[in-house]
Amino acid sequence: MSDLKIVAYDNEHQPHIRAIREAVFIQEQGVPPELEFDGLDASAMQVLVAVDGNYVGTGRMLDDGHIGRIAILQAYRGQGLGGHVVQALVDEAARLKYPRVYLGAQTHAIDFYAKLGFTPYGDEFMDAGIPHLAMEKSLT
């Protein structure tokens, strides 16, 4: 049983958000900590997903509709949790009347985001040494 909620990057939730992102992006993917923690978290909308009371996934959206930092701990992947995190952010963006949401998808995740209604645009680019493709979804 999973539980998803929109949270603040506060003293209660920050340690869980950081631990998940450190495990996925810094340890697994080798992203430098100074790139992963870019100073934008306090002003971003954050999502945490828990399974059986343990936080296992997170994501965020900046106030311009930029979705990012979608991370699910390795042992919990393949259960649809990442899709739920992204959809919660999209739903919140729609509620706030954002015209669109967009993200930089790691190239291995393009199909994942396409299934959620995102369309690629532009050329592939590198971010933290990982190939990405910009994708967007219109909300109007």
The predicted-structure confidence for 38-90, as pLDDT tens digits, reads as follows 999 999 999 999 999 999 999 999 999 999 999 999 999 999 999 999 999 99
C-alpha 118/C-alpha 110 separation (Å) is 9
The predicted-structure confidence for 93-107, as pLDDT tens digits, reads as follows 999 999 999 999 999
- Using a 10 angstrom Cβ sphere, with 0-12 exposed, 13-18 middle and 19 or more buried, the burial of residue 58 is buried
Fold classified for 2-99: Aminopeptidase (3.40.630)
Per-domain residue ranges of the chain? 2-99
Helix (H) or strand (E) holding 100, with range, is: strand 100-106
The predicted-structure confidence for 108-121, as pLDDT tens digits, reads as follows 999 999 999 999 99
Confidence (pTM): 0.94
Residue 1 scores a pLDDT above 70:
no
Here the contacts of 8-11 (C-beta below 8 Å, separation 24 or greater) are 8/46, 9/41, 9/42, 9/44, 9/46
